[in-house]
Structure 1
């Protein structure tokens, strides 16, 4: 049985990531669609105190509005020297939602005096899978690294140009999409959903 699965996002990169995870796991029969491909519905504001809370709200909203299984992710950057901030505020750290350059510039400014050995950070992703009539599953992926002093690289988005993963001399924005999928926080979280997604595909 071929079914559709909704990703609660309009971000083409997030849709592509789930498609690649399904392909890599050998799961076919699930068509990944985004919010632009379903009728609009009211979306609850993301005001949760945790990534998990925000991901669950988005997934449950999407499943309830469309009747389709829905995957939603909430992700961000937790910086050790900032006590885990910006965290759930990552996308609007500078005060304007989604202004990557301003967010990154503010973060680098806040860390200007922090020595290299204390610049540890982690990208965190919580992914929720809501299936109508079933319990919602939520998983978490973390990708440790450190914050560099100058942005490098043109791949990726958000804080990718200033995040250097553990064991790498390149930033996340200097990795290929395939390299990033294999290691990233969202890739790690989505991989944990593969058994549930495989079951859905079997229908």
Structure 2
């Protein structure tokens, strides 16, 4: 785990993002997936909103996913185990990258068939405290034919822009600086499930 944490911190420092496959083992992934499916079946998920506070509203032309926020004071044993792993990432990023990360917030995210999230930044004027985005995919299987990729955009020295498409493979962790990398979720042809969260510089 220490080597993995070193790798994550080095990549964030040098490139602002990192992709880690098989971040969790299969049994843990399947258990988290089953827990999320049970919560969906209980009707716990809601359409995701955009904006903050009084500006918060459901805008399905911008994003059409569904979410269930986790309560830091009432985590299931599985959720607590995952938060403990994220806590290790928080500590090493503070040690190596001096990011001043103090807390984590996260939610289960479900993208039904055909859903998407248009290009955006996770850190903007309404949520300046989000410093690092952390995404863990829980899907059983995924191929390029299923689409629903995470597309990340990067500025080039010549002023042009390139993008990288990341398949939401089960067990894959994606970590990036929230204020630096615009991204979107392209329309998916299969139900797409993850835990999405943010390491923040507030308690």
TM-score bracket relative to the smaller structure: under 0.3
Compare the two structures and name the one with the higher helix fraction.
1
> Larger relative contact order (C-alpha < 8 A, sep ≥ 6)?
2
- With normalisation by structure 2, the TM-score equals 0.27
Compare the two structures and name the one with the higher strand fraction.
2
